[in-house]
């Protein structure tokens, strides 16, 4: 009987000691910082990773010292399937619970930026996406139509459909995420602007307004002139005149354009040549800014039908063809005109190239 009592005292005492040790170890696990480096730790959770694989990887790097306790913590919180892929920064002093909270909520994730520049066409947008090393590329070998099908709009041309803005994303995000967000934003901004448009415009649908906005986006060198150039376009459409906007010709020429429009370009029979086809081209030619959209839906009220770019980037607006011809002649007399045109073209080309790096 005495032996049994001693035995049970020993068992209870041992269990108590084990409990004290386990509680001490657990509290040490919970409150001991994993990150001691002053610079913190940058870590990427790859797409498709599991929490178990992340724990094992961090344990292999000697970041997590008690992987068993960490897995127990995951089990206790019931978050085994809530891991969020991305690039994280764990500051000095990060504990196990804090690290787990970050990777299941996405807090502390490092975000990268991608800028869609107003006036880019869809080819330029695709090239910029491809050059971004932080994105996971899924669209590289798809055609324009296949990309739009992938986004859920198989019958829609992609040109002009993505809103110029800066978009933030986590490391390893799919490139199509940027397009989805930019497409949604363009639809929202365009539809809102359409609902508040000025009366008596020559546009039947928001899409026609988008086409028009994409043209003046490329035509205006100064943003302040957008409403005035929009007014010229509206006046010409109402008068059933040829638009004769050079950016549409350049778009139709495509990669053959080298900075100067040739006579053969002006008479080429393609649907984007507004020198021989009346009305708007079949699709936008660029991605217009909100300023361009607002300008085409609230054009300046005037009687101008012509304008020509001057060497300082501003435009000379005229009502009569004779006055327009005089304005063109004055511009052409300037020895700097041709050089200015080339400088402007190459500057814009350089800007686009720099923006996509």
Task: Indicate if the pLDDT at residue 65 is higher than 60.
Answer: yes
pLDDT (tens digit per residue) in 75-127: 999 988 889 888 899 999 999 999 999 999 988 888 999 999 999 999 999 99
Proportion of the chain above pLDDT 90, given as a percent:
67
Burial of 174 (0-12, 13-18, 19+ CB in 10 A): middle
Residue 255 is given by DSSP the state G
* 347 band by pLDDT with thresholds 50, 70 and 90: very low
User: Per the domain annotation, does 27 fall within a domain?
Assistant: no
| One domain, residues 180 and 275 | no
What pLDDT is attached to residue 329?
Answer: 83
What pLDDT is attached to residue 348?
Answer: 43
User: Per the domain annotation, does 98 fall within a domain?
Assistant: yes
| One domain, residues 233 and 349 | yes
The lowest-confidence range among 210-224, 246-260, 340-354 is 340-354
pTM of the model: 0.79
What pLDDT is attached to residue 56?
Answer: 95
Query: How distant is the alpha carbon of residue 336 from its chain centre?
Result: 37
Task: Indicate if the pLDDT at residue 323 is higher than 90.
Answer: no
User: Per the domain annotation, does 288 fall within a domain?
Assistant: yes
| One domain, residues 211 and 350 | yes
What pLDDT is attached to residue 355?
Answer: 38
User: Per the domain annotation, does 121 fall within a domain?
Assistant: yes
| One domain, residues 120 and 212 | no
User: Per the domain annotation, does 75 fall within a domain?
Assistant: yes
What pLDDT is attached to residue 346?
Answer: 40
| One domain, residues 201 and 341 | yes
Task: Indicate if the pLDDT at residue 272 is higher than 80.
Answer: yes
What pLDDT is attached to residue 9?
Answer: 66
What pLDDT is attached to residue 285?
Answer: 98
What pLDDT is attached to residue 26?
Answer: 84
| One domain, residues 86 and 219 | no
**Of the residues 154, 188, 222, the one at which a domain ends:** 188
What pLDDT is attached to residue 51?
Answer: 92
Q: How many structural domains compose the chain? A: 3
CA distances from 273 to 10, 95, 293 (A): 96, 64, 22
The enclosing domain of 49 has a CATH number of: 3.30.1490.480
Task: Indicate if the pLDDT at residue 53 is higher than 80.
Answer: yes
The lowest-confidence range among 185-194, 226-235, 318-327 is 318-327
* 7 band by pLDDT with thresholds 50, 70 and 90: low
| One domain, residues 240 and 291 | yes
What pLDDT is attached to residue 64?
Answer: 93
pLDDT (tens digit per residue) in 129-174: 999 999 999 999 999 999 999 999 999 999 999 999 999 998 888 9
Query: How distant is the alpha carbon of residue 101 from its chain centre?
Result: 28
User: Per the domain annotation, does 72 fall within a domain?
Assistant: yes
CA distances from 88 to 74, 100, 110, 322 (A): 18, 11, 5, 64
* 10 band by pLDDT with thresholds 50, 70 and 90: low
What pLDDT is attached to residue 249?
Answer: 95
| One domain, residues 293 and 206 | yes
pLDDT (tens digit per residue) in 280-299: 999 999 999 999 999 999 99
Q: For residues 275 and 266, give the distance between their C-alpha atoms in angstroms, rounded to a whole number.
A: 6
Structure tokens at 74: 């995951």
| One domain, residues 179 and 65 | no
Q: Where are the alpha helices (DSSP H) in the chain?
A: 2-31, 51-60, 67-77, 96-105, 122-131, 144-151, 175-195, 206-219, 226-238, 246-253, 263-266, 290-297, 321-333, 336-355
Are the beta carbons of 207 and 155 closer than 8 angstroms? no
Question: Which residue did the predictor score with more confidence, 303 or 8?
Answer: 303
| One domain, residues 141 and 178 | yes
pLDDT (tens digit per residue) in 22-49: 777 788 889 999 999 988 999 999 888 8
What pLDDT is attached to residue 311?
Answer: 81
| One domain, residues 245 and 350 | yes
| One domain, residues 84 and 220 | no
What pLDDT is attached to residue 23?
Answer: 76
Q: What is the mean pLDDT of the chain?
A: 88
Domain carrying residue 216: 197-355
**Of the residues 64, 79, 107, the one at which a domain ends:** 107
């Amino acid at each position: 009987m005495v032996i049994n009592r001693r035995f049970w005292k020993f068992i209870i005492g041992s269990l108590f000691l084990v409990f004290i040790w386990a509680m001490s170890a657990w509290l040490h696990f919970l409150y001991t910082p994993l990150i001691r480096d002053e610079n913190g730790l940058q870590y990427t959770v790859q797409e498709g990773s599991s929490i178990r694989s992340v724990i094992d990887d961090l344990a292999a790097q000697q970041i997590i010292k008690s992987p068993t306790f960490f897995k127990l913590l995951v089990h206790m919180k019931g978050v085994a399937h809530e891991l969020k892929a991305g690039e994280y920064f764990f500051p000095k002093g990060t504990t196990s619970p804090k690290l787990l909270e970050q990777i299941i909520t996405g807090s502390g994730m490092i975000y990268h930026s991608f800028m869609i520049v107003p006036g880019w066409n869809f080819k330029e947008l695709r090239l910029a996406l491809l050059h971004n090393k932080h994105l996971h590329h899924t669209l590289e070998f798809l055609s324009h139509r296949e990309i739009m099908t992938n986004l859920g709009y198989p019958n829609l041309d992609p040109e002009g459909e993505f809103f110029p803005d800066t978009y933030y994303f986590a490391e390893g995000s799919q490139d199509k995420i940027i397009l989805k967000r930019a497409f949604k934003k363009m639809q929202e901004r365009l539809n809102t602007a359409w609902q508040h448009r000025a009366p008596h415009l020559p546009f039947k649908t928001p899409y026609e307004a988008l086409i028009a906005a994409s043209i003046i986006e490329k035509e205006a060198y100064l943003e302040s002139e957008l409403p005035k150039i929009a007014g010229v376009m509206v006046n010409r459409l109402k008068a059933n005149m040829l638009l004769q906007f050079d950016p549409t010709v350049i778009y139709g020429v495509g990669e053959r354009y080298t900075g100067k429009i040739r006579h053969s370009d002006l008479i080429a029979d393609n649907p984007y040549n507004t020198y021989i086809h009346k009305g708007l081209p079949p699709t936008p030619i660029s991605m217009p800014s909100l300023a361009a959209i607002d300008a085409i839906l609230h054009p300046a009220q005037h009687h101008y039908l012509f304008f020509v770019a001057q060497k300082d980037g501003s435009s000379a607006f005229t009502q009569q063809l004779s006055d327009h011809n005089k304005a063109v002649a004055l511009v052409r007399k300037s020895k700097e005109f041709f050089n200015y045109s080339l400088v402007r073209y190459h500057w814009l080309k350089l800007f686009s190239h720099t923006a996509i790096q």
